[in-house]
Chains A and B, each alone.
Chain A
């Protein structure tokens, strides 16, 4: 889909310059290591774990990178497609209205911070961001840090951080166009235009997807309250422009504008519309060889409206506006030590027709400092502390983090981290007042306290030539989880209420093992397994699914260039998930009947993709999704929305390569 693009360290992100030079020196000395790095993408530069650019193999915080090459192999449309294909322990489930909820190793979507180029996203549905906003067109790489990272990123980063890094134009000009067609009139079109002239670099990305509603057939009679009879299609449009001015080698200013629109037709008389407007500017200044300063302003507005066809009215019912100002300063100390300091301010505005008072506002402020101590070439220690303040309820929080990297051998790296995490209650969780079809009233609680977590991670990475093996264990203790509690009667009426509360504690243990191999002759493979175990001190019944205990993703690739006119790539990928049970009401209408365990069976889905490269500027792709024709017995909360085999065909052109 996208042309291969080598990751480069941004010119002005020289904050970790000494450590990078050290890495490069090591690479030159040990050529085998260099080959290993190249084959395994360990030479990638990542920023999310430390907020400074560091080589992936050297970063003390365990980070998973999905490169543009891997994104291309998955043929993913958006972040949801990508993560569930590439990462074990990630699953997307559906509420009754098919709103999507992510689960990352036991943490629901509200506890996982999703960033685009380091910036937060406005808007939520079921406390999850709109995943369809996050198109995979023009993505450079995605960095995933599992475990708490609130000492660097603040609220919501209790379960991890997913940072999507977009691509900047590097060639004089590029023009990429692609289209894909599949079942249920599924269509996807992408266009990416890049220009690099003089001091200016501009990248314009366009993405459009559409699919029809389709009916699904449930077999059997239980569990009847969770099943879907129809899967809703969507129509999305995503536009994003990013322009950079490199005024001199030390100063870079980047501006961006974005627009997103999604529509959904559940019923004939009205259309659900979701829109996002984004803008921002970022200045990066390498003050001296040792000092680097970054300042940014970001605006993000996410709206929901209903278009009433009979009245031709487009009525807005939700708007979340976030204005953020961020400052980041890095100072290189002796050797490769880096001191990082930063402060952020955010003005958060929420208007929701289901909110007490309709609109609420909150200012939040934070300041943080981190010291990255490069003790010697074997040891690196990193400590961070962050203070967060939220104006609504005058809440504040101090969060620490300590990470260590030990490389006893050039092929072996051990990483250890302790991180504090927290999630401040959102304005919705404080002031919600939603009558759910007369069944119950979901209401916020102004006195909610932040959800606090402690995360311990221990990981080992061994690499040899084209092979690598990673094993890591993760333990999280979460106190005062914020979620909806059990329904209750407030007064003498029969009306049920469902309040957001600090429910209780949760312990999550996860273990991940992944192996990657580059066998040569175009053959490569990756296998990742994750074990997740959750324990809750208090039970509730809601639509946030627990994690499946076992999950596995597998990928095998063969790539061959037959001659200069034709190359072929064959990719087989799959994911297998064990069964999971969830405590659910017998029926939502009568919660007094109590709950029972609903079992969601194990399943696996496999995808075969064949891509032919013609003359270096054209690609034809044929994909068979769900090749073993898996069809769930029921379409419900935690079942994949597939009807069986889906054949897709696609074509892409790199117009600039024609000339």
Chain B
């Protein structure tokens, strides 16, 4: 009885704007600070991780990994965010809308019908095409990220079954024969969410890397979309024959926003 009376009294005294705040976790507003975390420089190899808010539907984020690693070697406190270049997806039409699908792989916006409400987005078909200029790119870059899509600058990639980036060895990389390069896509780089509920979603026609992109997949239904993460270590074979490893550690920030990526890297292997 006394316990009840005390509980009621406590409620009344503390309750004006709510209580039980301790039940919840506070937002961590310092997601960006992850950039500085976990940097290990061992001989010539640098291992670390960075945070990237890649949630913008209309933007590609480019990173030149070897150049960044060089900067980190010079200054371990270097912030990778400074190296990331954001370039918008071009939407300005350069021609008329076409409803017949041509065979050529042209730059532009491909609107596809996606069965958002029933069979799911795997069930889709071409609807129209609007030509635009090509995607702008920086002079030097290694990978580009847009939400759950990843491209490489003419690199080859391979998905390992490893989940610890430190277990990757150069010999392992050299023994791999099934490297995969970027492939043309017209229905994967969704760049406008506002038409999603109409089932017609514009997508950028561009080459994507399906190995790296498989680290984060999106499924509809349900609505809102369900994301699933693959934390296998992904390997990159650079144009100069060196190897890098990337691993997606998380795809949400501390407020639950999706496509905010925490990526672990190791270079060179």
Write the residues of chain A forming the contact surface with B, with a CB cutoff of 8 angstroms.
96-97, 200, 217-218, 224-225, 227-230, 232, 241, 243, 255, 257, 266-270, 275, 277, 279-281, 297, 299, 301, 303, 305-306, 308, 310-311, 313-316, 319, 321, 323, 347, 349, 351, 353, 359, 361, 437-439, 587-590
Contacts and interface: CB of A to CB of B under 8 A. Distances in A.
B254 A266 contact: no
B57 A438 contact: yes
A186 B21 CA distance: 32
A630 B8 CA distance: 48
B229 A229 contact: no
Interface in B7-29: 7-8, 11-12, 15-21, 23-28
Contacts of A224: 116-117, 199
Given A277-B20, A587-B198, A301 B252 contact: no
Nearest to B221: A229
A1 B250 CA distance: 47
B193 interface: yes
B118 interface: yes
Given A200-B1, A268-B226, A437-B193, A590 B256 contact: no
Contact of A437 (B118, B197, B255, B256): B197
A267 B198 contact: no
B251 to A, nearest CB: 7
Given A227-B118, A310-B252, A314-B24, A321 B17 contact: yes
Interface string B69-108: 0000000000000000000000000000000000000000
Nearest to A588: B197
Contacts of A270: 252, 256
Contact of A311 (B11, B224, B254): B254
Contacts of A311: 250, 252, 254
Given A299-B12, A438-B192, 6 more contacts: A218-B118, A225-B197, A257-B4, A301-B20, A311-B252, A589-B198
Contacts of B256: 270, 306, 308, 315
Nearest to A347: B16
B246 to A, nearest CB: 18
A345 to B, nearest CB: 12
24 contacts: A96-B197, A97-B223, A200-B1, A224-B117, A225-B117, A229-B117, A255-B8, A268-B226, A269-B228, A269-B251, A275-B23, A279-B12, A301-B15, A301-B18, A303-B18, A303-B24, A305-B24, A310-B250, A310-B252, A313-B25, A319-B18, A359-B17, A438-B194, A587-B198
B197 A230 contact: no
Given A243-B4, A299-B12, A589-B198, A229 B222 contact: yes
A519 B30 CA distance: 72
A230 B18 contact: no
A316 B164 CA distance: 33
A210 B188 CA distance: 36
A349 B57 contact: no
B5 interface: yes
A201 to B, nearest CB: 12
Contacts of A266: 222, 224, 226
Nearest to B117: A227
A299 B225 contact: no
Contact of B118 (A229, A255, A349): A229
B117 A218 contact: yes
A96 B223 contact: yes
B162 interface: no
A575 B222 CA distance: 30
A440 B143 CA distance: 33
A308 B118 contact: no
Nearest to B18: A321
Contacts of A305: 24
B222 A308 contact: no
Nearest to A256: B8
Contacts of B227: 267-269
Interface residues of B, number: 49
B226 to A, nearest CB: 4
9 closest cross-chain pairs (CB), A and B: A587-B198, A279-B11, A229-B221, A589-B198, A438-B194, A321-B18, A267-B226, A589-B195, A316-B24
Contact of A321 (B7, B15, B57, B200): B15
Contacts of B252: 269-270, 308, 310-311
Contact of A349 (B17, B27, B250, B255): B17
Interface in B180-199: 192-199
Contact of B4 (A255, A308, A359, A438): A255
A117 B116 CA distance: 44
A567 to B, nearest CB: 38
Nearest to B255: A315
A449 B226 CA distance: 40
Contacts of B221: 228-230
Given A299-B15, A589-B198, A243 B225 contact: no
Contacts of B223: 96-97, 229
Nearest to A215: B221
B120 to A, nearest CB: 8
Looking at B8, B11, B227, the one whose CB has the most chain A CB atoms below 10 A away is B11
A269 B216 CA distance: 12
A113 to B, nearest CB: 22
Contacts of B199: 224-225, 587
Given A321-B15, A321-B17, A269 B226 contact: yes
Given A266-B222, A267-B226, A308-B256, A321 B16 contact: yes
Nearest to A216: B118
B194 A257 contact: no
A454 B252 CA distance: 50
Contacts of B120: 229
B195 A257 contact: no
Nearest to A259: B20
Given A257-B7, A270-B256, A277 B198 contact: no
Nearest to B27: A315
Nearest to A325: B12
Contacts of A349: 16-18
A588 B198 contact: yes
Contacts of B27: 315
A439 B224 contact: no
A279 B11 CA distance: 7
Nearest to B231: A310
Given A230-B221, A267-B227, A279-B7, A590 B195 contact: yes
B197 A438 contact: no
B19 to A, nearest CB: 7
Contact of B194 (A232, A243, A439): A439
A349 B27 CA distance: 20
B254 A308 contact: yes
A313 B254 contact: yes
Nearest to A224: B117
Interface string B117-130: 11010000000000
Contacts of A438: 57, 192-194
Contacts of B57: 438
Contacts of A257: 4, 7-8, 11
Contact of B254 (A97, A275, A315): A315
Contacts of A230: 221-222
A297 B20 CA distance: 19
Contacts of A437: 193-194, 196-197, 224
A227 B223 CA distance: 11
B8 A279 contact: yes
A303 B20 contact: yes
A306 B24 CA distance: 10
Contacts of A310: 229, 250-252
